[in-house]
Structure 1
Amino acid sequence: MEQKYVIALIVGLIIYFGAVSGVYLIYKPNLDYQRNRRKKLKEERQKALEMARKAKAFQKEHPAPESSEESAPENPDNK
């Protein structure tokens, strides 16, 4: 009787490993795509952060001129 259980266990393990490797082969391209997409998005976030830092530094170096209401009106035709 023990021999039947051992053979059944071995066959079950072979079927299990076959199913797991089959699922892996099916989903592997999707996993690679997701990994590459995460890497690309991370690079884009880094670029955006760098641009934001540069913009902030530029704003500190070149403050916007303050607008005053005493300056020329926007539409001089209105009287």
Structure 2
Amino acid sequence: AFLHRIWYHCLNLHLGSYFNYIVIVAATFTHSWCPCVMALYLPSVVIEQCFASIFIVDYEKIPRNWISGIIISLEFLLNCKLL
């Protein structure tokens, strides 16, 4: 609602136009999504480094795609939950 007032007041957008409505929705989504991604980036790196410490002997030699799959899936689910 706050962003809607800003867009409407500063840019004089009317919600009768679908394009303007799409711009408002995209800006609101981006405004709420970016902080969530940044808040979860550091914990994702820490989790990945924990797995690297556990598999320290052969972490760079043997690909473990499941580690990145788990981290990306958890980050995606948490982002969806936080929004």
* TM-score normalised by structure 1 residue count: 0.40
Structure with higher RCO (Cα < 8 A, 6+ apart): 2
Structure with larger Rg: 1
* TM-score normalised by structure 2 residue count: 0.39
